[in-house]
Structure 1
Amino acid sequence: MACGYCKRSEECNQINGTCLNGCSRGYKGKYCNTTCHDGYFGENCVYKCNDTCKECNRMNGSCGNICHPGFKGEFCHEVCDLNWYGEGCNKSCGECTVDSGSCHHINGSCVNGCDAGYHGNKCDKICEFGFYGPNCKSACSPFCKVSRDCHHVTGTCNYGCKAGVQGNDCLLVQDSENVSQIKFYGILSTLCATLLIIGIYALYKIKKRMILSRTSTGTSYSVDDSVIPQTDSVALIKKDDQPIELNHNNQNTSKLDISTNYDTKL
């Protein structure tokens, strides 16, 4: 009979067929003709495969990247990279909190909870309608334009606020007095500006009318000194329709010589 898979291919005992120095890798038994059980490898099958392998090579213990979820590598001795999990490490983590850094490399659960706006074991679901924030425990404002319709992370109302309220979360009551004052001063400013423009235009029209009036009256007159009587000028007095010349330069101006032609008849 042929010898089994003896170590270093040495021949077995010629009488009973036993391998004198043990078995080659992957085999076991007295005659080294039995393969290793699952999960074991090497000479005489004394080495245990990594538990993370689904199956390993009975010769060298390699897993051939056929690993249990959460592990990778030739011998399945490495965990998945950050933010990846599952079989073949091909599933991305959900929105876990920054503190946790990543989800569990095997099942994808977020150990320390979810980032704001997400929930579920894997933090891969957004908050239900009407809720937002960490663990989706905060309620959206009922004063959103569409009641309780807000962003699942920030709580900001998606379509603005109802009348009378303001703010991102529509929880601040508007100050009606301040709003009225703003409107009043806005109207007053507009009115003042309008009156100023009207006043400037009126002054312009008045000035223009005065200029046109002066132009239409022609050249102004002044008194000529030549028409003012002088002390040596001659005055005429009529007597019986006959002019009498009076010389103001005559020294006998106090005596008036009246002609005998004066009619004395009554």
Structure 2
Amino acid sequence: MKGSCSNGCQGDLHGSRCGLSCSTRCKNGKCNDRTGKCTGCKDGYYGDLCEESCSTCNGPCRQLDGVCLTGCKDGYWGCNGLCLQTCSYCNTGGCRIQDGVCHSGSRLGFNNPRNFNTTSKLCFLVIL
């Protein structure tokens, strides 16, 4: 048996007998003693076990849902902090993160800054 269960698990261990390791993507190797859910994720990951990637974020993302906390990396944009769309249709300079409009115009063959129906790709903020 690994770890010490009388006072909770030690280090990066969890489980009823402290025999399971926390995910390597858990921030500082820390997770819940019983469930194994990460108490925080390393930058670039989100989810209970930090198993999902948020590599298009320009910094950390929210553990619950992958919302980018400091905006999108250059070359990406998206609604409500989710940087899931690419700016590959733009000339150099990328695009605005809120709506994907190119900073320096679009590449040859793209007559619309995003080359798709803009009304179907607008971002809406929903407050619950």
TM bin, normalised by shorter chain, reads 0.3 to 0.5
Structure-2-length-normalised TM-score: 0.45
Name the one with the larger strand percent: 1
Higher helix residue share: 1
Q: Mark the structure with the bigger radius of gyration.
A: 1
Greater RCO, 1 or 2 (C-alpha within 8 Å, sep 6+): 2
